[in-house]
Amino acid sequence: DADVTQTPRNRITKTGKRIMLECSQTKGHDRMYWYRQDPGLGLRLIYYSFDVKDINKGEISDGYSVSRQAQAKFSLSLESAIPNQTALYFCATGRGGTDTQYFGPGTRLTVL
């Protein structure tokens, strides 16, 4: 089984809809991250969490919210989706120190 899983893998939705992307991990890492990837751009950090009670905004948090339900679960919500949120979304986990990150397979989100 994969160490970092994301659901759904693909989602098409309409403008204004609420969307939740879920991430689960079995690596036992405290740190979890949400990124989005757009063509021609590097991954950009949306939110990150260093433990269950710690939530921090990344560089592009506007229009997104997160919930860290447990050490193993970190969900990303789009309260009212808009077309420019169409992107590939990645969840990642990591430890402290050098903090190599382990990425999930990604969720391809299309907002019409």
Partner 1 sequence: KNQVEQSPQSLIILEGKNCTLQCNYTVSPFSNLRWYKQDTGRGPVSLTIMTFSENTKSNGRYTATLDADTKQSSLHITASQLSDSASYICVVSANTGGFKTIFGAGTRLFVKA
List contacts with partner 1 (CB under 8 A): 4, 35, 40-45, 48, 50, 56, 90, 92, 98-106
Strands 107-111 and 87-94: antiparallel
In the complex, the smallest distance separating the C-beta of residue 29 from partner 1, rounded to whole angstroms, is 13
Three-class DSSP category at 1: coil
Residue nearer to partner 1 on the CB measure, 72 or 88: 88
Cα gap 73→25, rounded to integer Å: 7
Given a contact cutoff of 8 angstroms between Cβ atoms, the answer to whether 60 and 45 are in contact is yes
Residue nearer to partner 1 on the CB measure, 17 or 101: 101
In the complex, the smallest distance separating the C-beta of residue 47 from partner 1, rounded to whole angstroms, is 11
Residue nearer to partner 1 on the CB measure, 23 or 78: 23
In the complex, the smallest distance separating the C-beta of residue 31 from partner 1, rounded to whole angstroms, is 9
Apex 70 CA angle, 6 and 35, nearest 5: 40
